[in-house]
Amino acid sequence: MLIYVCISSHGFGHAARQAAMLRELHALCPDWTLVISTMVDRCFLELVFRDLPVVLRPVQWDVGMLQADALGADPAATLKALQDLEDALPQRLDQEVAWISNQETPVLVIGDIPPVAAELAERLQAPLVWMGNFGWDDIYTPLGSAFEGWVRRAQECYQRGSLLLRCPFSLAMNWHLREISLTLVAAEPRSLPAAFEAELQKDSFPNVLVGFGGLGLGLEPSLFTRWPDHRFLLNRPRNPDLRKHLALINNVTLLPDDVRPLDVMPYCRRHLGKPGFSSFCEAMAADLGLHVVERQGFAEADTLMEGLRQHASHRILRREELESGCWGLDQPLQPPTHGRLASTGAFEAAKAVKRVAIDTVQRI
C-alpha cells in the first residue's frame, strides 16, 4: 500500500500535522510506503519527519496566501502566483501520475489541502481523503471578485473524495462529504539532549517559547531584555547577524538544530506567537498559556482565535503591543470559556486513513 500525501507548501503547519498523523499510521501499518509531496523547507521536513521512513517528492501543489511575514498577506502577489501555478500543474500531474504508477502498488491519496489532489486521485483511480481545518475556497472568498474563479475551482475539487478529516478550529468546508471530526492533532515531544535539558532547568526563570511559523517575524532582539526574569526559547534564525545578536542576550536561548519547538514545550509555561493551527494544537496539548498577536487579512485567523478563547488559557496582543515588548508575561491569563480539548487527533486520523485504505483500495 502506498499513501501519497499532497501537503500544502503554505507555511509549516500542514506538514507538522501530517508528520503527526503519518507517525501514528506507520505504527499501525509499518509495511506501508509513505510519500510526502510538498515544497515546504527541506530542513523543517527532515526535523519533523525524523526517524519516520518517508519518501519526499518535491512538488508544489498550491500557492496558499503569499505573505511578507507571519502576520501580513499579499492578495495581488497571490493572484499572480496562482496563474503561474495553473500553467505549471499539468506537467507536474503527468510527472507524479507516472511516478506513482511505476510503483505498481495500490495507492490512497491524502490532500492537506491542495485542491489539485482531487485530479491526481482521479487520474490514479485512487480514493482520496482530505484532512485540514480549511480549504482555499474559505480563504479566498473574502478577498473579492478577483478570486471568484479560484474559489469555484477549489470548491469543485473539494467535493470529490471519500472522506473529510475535519481538524479543530475549522472554517466552513461545506464540501458535502462524509466527515470525521478530530481532536487536537499534535505529535509527542521527543527527549532533549541531556546537556540542553540541564540548561533549561538550571534556574527558576520561567521559559517562554517564541514562534511565528515558517515565515517568522523580525522582532527587535532588544525587546527580550525588557523581561529579564524570563528565559526565551527561539528557533535558530538563518540570518547570521541576527543569530549572533540573539546569542549575546543573556535571557535568550536558541534551540539546537535537531530540537523542535514541540520538544521544549514540557519545559515552558507560556508561548508567544501568532495564530497558527499546529502551534495552537501543540501548545494546547502541553497546557501552555498562549500570548497571541492578532492577525488581519487571513480568514483562518478568526477561527483560530475563537478556538483560543474557548479552549486555552491566553492573552491576546495587538501588533503594536508585540512590537513594543508589552507582552503581559507577568499578568494572569484569561481562562478558556470551554474545556480543554483531547489531543488524540493524529491517532484518530491514522485509524480513519487505514480504514479507507483497507475498505476501498483493497477491494479494487
- Kindly give, in sequence order, each residue whose CB lies less than 8 Å from that of residue 13, ignoring residues fewer than 6 positions away: 213, 276, 277, 278, 279
pLDDT score at 72: 65
pLDDT score at 364: 46
Split the chain (364 residues) into runs of 10 and give each run's mean pLDDT: 97 96 99 98 95 98 82 86 97 98 97 99 98 97 95 98 98 97 98 95 93 69 95 90 90 95 97 95 98 86 96 96 96 97 99 96 57
Contact 267, 286 (CB under 8 A): no
B/e letters for 303-323, b = 16+ CB within 10 Å, e = fewer, are bbbebbbbbbbbbbbeeebbe
pLDDT in tens, 56-114: 999 999 999 987 665 668 899 999 999 999 999 999 999 999 999 999 999 999 999 99
Cα distance between residue 6 and residue 36, in whole Å: 6
pLDDT score at 217: 62
pLDDT score at 240: 86
What domains are defined for the chain?
A: 2-186+344-363 (3.40.50.2000), 194-324 (3.40.50.2000)
C-alpha dihedral sign at 9, 14, 20, 21 = negative
pTM, full prediction: 0.95
- Kindly give, in sequence order, each residue whose CB lies less than 8 Å from that of residue 151, ignoring residues fewer than 6 positions away: 136, 137, 140, 141
Cα distance between residue 303 and residue 85, in whole Å: 28
Q: Which of 39, 1, 326, 51 is nearest to 188 (CA)?
A: 51
